[in-house]
Structure 1
Amino acid sequence: MQIREKTSLITGGANGIGFLYAHELLRHDAKCVYIMDLDNGDGKEAVQKLEAEFGKGRARFFPCDVTNSEHFTDNFQAVIDTCGQLDILINNAGIMDDSRWDFMIDLNFKALVRGSLLAMDHMGKHNGGNGGTIVNVSSIVGLTPTPFFSIYSGTKHAVVGFSLGLRGSYEKTGVRVLVMCPGITKTPLITECSDKTLEFVQKEDLINGLEKSILQAPEKVASAMIDLIEMGENGAVWVAECNEPPYAIETPHYSAHRKPI
């Protein structure tokens, strides 16, 4: 997909990597970016910054709690009523906070599922749409577990599994489903994570591990997102880590990992 003149919706796009996704989409000549996030002032500020750089009408903010199914559905429809045709959805909203695991599951997985299904209903050729692209944001810990954030890791594994399941509907819907898995990135999600673990987690090991890790710049992930949207095949799972170029991974059949008992 060429991003030029396409319309995009980003959940959790008011700040952090989500805001950088919006910035990069506009820098690559997207027609308009719609940001959906909490109504805490960040969304309006984000739109002001984007419009100051790219021009009036290039960004819109829709305050929304995506964990509220009715609120999310109503605001998604409001976006459609505004833009007419949505081409790209980036399900980015999420937290890493195992101490709030119930809410985290609602945000990281249930809201992502809801957003994907809403986009399928709108974009899908089976429903009279023109096709499009859904990018679901997972993590490298959605590919390999971590003992420090086992519940967060579980939500991100669920994102990968759900997305790979949807890819089989492409011939009917015309909607590509892609997955972005960022590595350890210099954002508050990582820099403020040590107080968000379960109480039995070895926090010293977590802190020591982070100190030894390469924290990539969030701009690297945003750049990889553009490449994924423009070049990724349906069902592609890409990793962006260690400030290196992104790469795709294969998901072999489980029997490939068979070992004798």
Structure 2
Amino acid sequence: MFDLNGKNVVYVGGFSGIGYQVCHLLMKKNISHLIVMGRMENVEMMQKLQAENSSVEVVFIHMNLMDRANIEQAVKQVMGVIKHIDVLINGAGVLADKDMETTMGVNLMGMMNMVWLCLPYMDKMQMGQGGIVMNIASVYGLEPAPAFPVYAAAKHGVIGFTRSMADQHHYQHTGVAFFVVCPGLTTSEMMVNLREKSMMGQQSYAGELVKAMGHAKHQSPEDCAMNIVNAMEIMKNGAVYLCNMGQLKEVMPTNYWHL
């Protein structure tokens, strides 16, 4: 089990839906610092988080996940606040298949750049003390998304990257555990205007696919966040979790080839 007490936590993502609820739960864990990194600050939400626990230092740092140089500068700002990172949560997500560059850039490339730039401050062989990297993917990283194939490709990439970084050869040297949580459909701003976001939505036959997503049963952000924090505390290196309808279930991917 991973004890969050006294830990420096960096959360990358927005303030709506799952993101805020995860931060809200972390504030109850007596962490040392909560650093939120994202494109737009929500001052009201930041003040609300800080009011929940005055002993935790809450800081917002502006960052554009589409710009590696900007990410590098933002990480330097983080390290001006803390000396090492114990927990990195990559929770930023975009559902916008019509804009392939943004969909791949935020969901996959931005996440990988964050890991590369933060890892020296986590790696016990460099400037860190070990810790955990949690990447938030999607159920569509585990299975096809006919209405959103670009989003599915990005989230499949998140899982592949996470599992690769969790290899024991890395873990035994760095002390950094990697695992991934795949939420099912969750009530959030992301699920609004799905047809307009889908590259396939303009095809007459694809409308039913988009409509089915909109009408499917969704879990609450609160339930999803609770299981994300549970997965953090379990801290099983290499784990892939499905987080859906209040349940956290480990998925066991098949390995077909070994070195």
Q: TM-score, normalised by structure 1?
A: 0.91
Which residue does the alignment assign to 2:208?
Answer: 204
Q: Which moved more, 1:78-87 or 1:132-141?
A: 78-87
Q: Distance in 2 between matches of 1:139 and 1:153?
A: 8
Structure 1: 4+ residue segments shifted above 3 A: none
Instruction: Answer yes or no: is the 8 Å Cα contact 2:27–2:56 preserved in 1.
Output: no
Q: Distance in 2 between matches of 1:67 and 1:122?
A: 22
Alpha-carbon offset, residue 93 of structure 1: 1.0
Alpha-carbon offset, residue 57 of structure 1: 5.2
Instruction: Answer yes or no: is the 8 Å Cα contact 2:12–2:89 preserved in 1.
Output: yes
Instruction: Answer yes or no: is the 8 Å Cα contact 1:50–1:58 preserved in 2.
Output: no
Secondary structure of 2:194's partner?
Answer: coil
Which residue does the alignment assign to 1:186?
Answer: 187
Amino acid at match of 2:6: E
Among 226, 232, 236, the residue aligned to 1:229: 232
For the pair 1:249 / 2:251, whether they are aligned, the reply is yes
Which residue does the alignment assign to 1:92?
Answer: 91
Which residue does the alignment assign to 1:76?
Answer: 75
Amino acid at match of 2:171: Y
Q: Distance in 1 between matches of 2:236 and 2:212?
A: 37
Secondary structure of 1:83's partner?
Answer: coil
Q: How many residues align structurally?
A: 251
Secondary structure of 1:126's partner?
Answer: coil
Identity of aligned residues (%): 26
Q: Distance in 1 between matches of 2:73 and 2:38?
A: 14
Instruction: Answer yes or no: is the 8 Å Cα contact 1:26–1:32 preserved in 2.
Output: no
Amino acid at match of 1:30: I
Q: Distance in 1 between matches of 2:15 and 2:61?
A: 10
Amino acid at match of 1:60: V
Q: Distance in 1 between matches of 2:254 and 2:135?
A: 20
Gaps of 5+ in 2: none
Which residue does the alignment assign to 1:132?
Answer: 131
Gaps of 5+ in 1: 256-261
Once the two structures are superposed, residues 164-183 of structure 1 have per-residue CA deviations (whole angstroms, 9 ceiling, x without a partner) of 00011101110000101000
Which residue does the alignment assign to 2:35?
Answer: 34
Alpha-carbon offset, residue 56 of structure 1: 6.6
Which residue does the alignment assign to 1:116?
Answer: 115
Q: Distance in 1 between matches of 2:126 and 2:13?
A: 27
Instruction: Answer yes or no: is the 8 Å Cα contact 1:33–1:58 preserved in 2.
Output: yes
Q: Distance in 2 between matches of 1:100 and 1:179?
A: 25
Which residue does the alignment assign to 1:240?
Answer: 243
Instruction: Answer yes or no: is the 8 Å Cα contact 1:26–1:58 preserved in 2.
Output: no
RMSD: 1.6
Once the two structures are superposed, residues 71-98 of structure 1 have per-residue CA deviations (whole angstroms, 9 ceiling, x without a partner) of 1111112112202221100011120110
Q: 1:24 to 1:192 in 2, by over 3 A?
A: farther
Instruction: Answer yes or no: is the 8 Å Cα contact 1:177–1:234 preserved in 2.
Output: yes
Once the two structures are superposed, residues 181-239 of structure 1 have per-residue CA deviations (whole angstroms, 9 ceiling, x without a partner) of 0000011112332210013371233213431x220001111101111111031011111
